[in-house]
Amino acid sequence: MSSVLVTRKLPSSVLSKLHAAAAVDLYAGDAAIPADELRARVADKDALVCLLTDPIDRAVLDAAPRLKVVANVAIGCNNIDVAYAKSRGIHVTNTPEVLTESVADFTWALILAVTRRLSEGERLLRRGEWKGWALDFMLGSELRGKQLGIVGLGRIGRAVAARAPTFGMRVAYTSRGAGTGSSPAVPGLDPMSLDRLLLTSDVVSLHVPLTPATRHLIDKRALTRMKRSAYLINTARGPVVDEEALAWALQQHLLAGAALDVYENEPAIHPDLPRLENVLLVPHLASGTTETRTAMAALAIENVLAVLAGRSPLTPVT
Ligand code: GLV
């Protein structure tokens, strides 16, 4: 029987399917499995089911001579040395599609919340500082007639764009090759360079994977391009934004606000951010519904079972 290491408790319906097909070694701790324990426990395993909080580096992969597949319960795989895994003939899989709609909904929750100052208003209310309704009190900004700039038009970027007409927004996007003439046209959406998108958008929403090319894509220079009335939304990966530069830009009011679900050094966040009223901060929740997290875990298990049965994985990371 094949053996599988699972680094965190998964929904029981999903785990029982794995138990039926393989010997399961489940790390039952509440926090991420310590690196030395991960290396020790993966040593005799055929498959590894892990989370985005588990760094799967060369040392882990080298500790596991029998490993055939690493199944990440996440769409982003920046926690895994994918190139090295591939060079060792190990499949790496992720969980696309099953989380697209829930992340797109959540992105809109952030867009609406930050432009209408929901968390700022709630904080004030909880501090007991509300003095009552006033015509000019805590005014937000409307979305209708404005431009949503999508950075990265993959599945999630498209799903976010698809919801824009409901709120009366037009959509611009930048994607590999957009604005250079080489990107295929997307009906109704306006391709442009990142620079132009930053200069013209009222809301900029990030949907790129974290790679060496997208690390600090939104740096000081990019932030100074944005309209002073614009908002930045990040549900992608923290290091796509230079957090220090963002804290500075928010302090200088170079943009109207930001809503962040992800951070450069999770779970730590830049110490200036919680002190600022013009930023909405949530703890990496975009795919966090019971339905979606269960579907993500189930897909990871399907990938493991396919590889262990000698078939191709359903959703390989390419
Ligand atoms: C969540 O951040 C994911 O990559 O699935």
Domain coordinates in residue numbering, the chain: 3-98+290-308, 100-281
- The amino acid that residue 75 corresponds to is I
CB atoms within 10 A of CB 309: 9
* Section 291-299 average pLDDT: 98
For residue 167, what pLDDT is reported? 98
Which residue minimizes the CA distance to atom 1 of ligand 1?
74
CA of 168 to the centre of ligand 1 (A): 28
**How many angstroms is it from 313 CA to the middle of ligand 1?**
19
Given this model, what pLDDT does residue 46 score?
98
Cα–Cα distance between 146 and 171 in angstroms, integer?
A: 9
Residue percentage of the chain with pLDDT more than 70: 97
d(CA 262, CA 194): 21
Shortest-distance Cα residue to atom 5 of ligand 1: 74
- The contacts of residue 119 (CB under 8 Å, 6+ apart) are 113, 280, 281
pLDDT by residue (tens digit) across 183-223? Answer: 556 888 999 999 999 999 999 999 999 999 999 999 999 99
Q: Is the pLDDT of residue 78 over 70?
A: yes
- Tell me whether the omega of the peptide bond preceding residue 274 falls within 30 degrees of 0, making it cis: no
**Token pair 């009222």: residue:** 202
* Calpha distance 170→165 (Å, rounded): 7
Q: Give the bridge partners for 164, in sequence order.
A: none
Fold for the domain defined by 3-98+290-308? Rossmann fold (3.40.50)
In terms of Cβ atoms closer than 10 Å to its own Cβ (0-12, 13-18, 19+), residue 42 is buried
> Which atom of ligand 1 is least distant from the CA of 262?
2
Q: What's 163's DSSP letter?
A: T
C-alpha 4: how far from chain center? 26
For residue 296, report the phi and psi dihedrals to the nearest 5 degrees.
Answer: -65, -45
Task: Give the integer Cα–Cα distance in Å for 248 and 30.
Answer: 35
What is the arithmetic mean of pLDDT over 116-145? 98
**By CB neighbour count within 10 A (0-12 exposed, 13-18 middle, 19+ buried), where does 208 fall?**
buried
CA dist 135 and 139 (Å) reads 9
Q: What is the pLDDT of residue 214?
A: 97
Would you state the CATH architecture of domain 100-281? 3-Layer(aba) Sandwich (3.40)
What is the H or E stretch that residue 129 is in?
none
Mean pLDDT of the residues in the chain? 96
Residues touching ligand 1 (Cβ under 6 Å) are 52, 74-76, 99, 287
Amino acid present at 219: D
Q: What are 152-181's pLDDT values in tens digits?
A: 999 999 999 999 999 999 999 998 755 444
Hey, do 3-98+290-308 and 100-281 end up sharing a CATH topology, with the first three levels equal? yes
Instruction: Name the phi and psi angles at 174, rounded to 5.
Output: -130, 140
Would you state the pLDDT for residue 168? 98
Count of CB atoms situated within 10 Å of the CB of 288: 15
Of residues 218, 212, 216, 211, the one with CA closest to residue 195: 218
Helix (H) or strand (E) holding 151: strand 147-151
Identity of the amino acid at 120: E
Which neighbouring-strand residues pair with 170?
Answer: 147
Best probe residue, ligand 1, of 49, 52, 53, 106 (max atoms within 8 Å of C-beta): 52
How many whole angstroms separate alpha carbon 196 and alpha carbon 52?
32
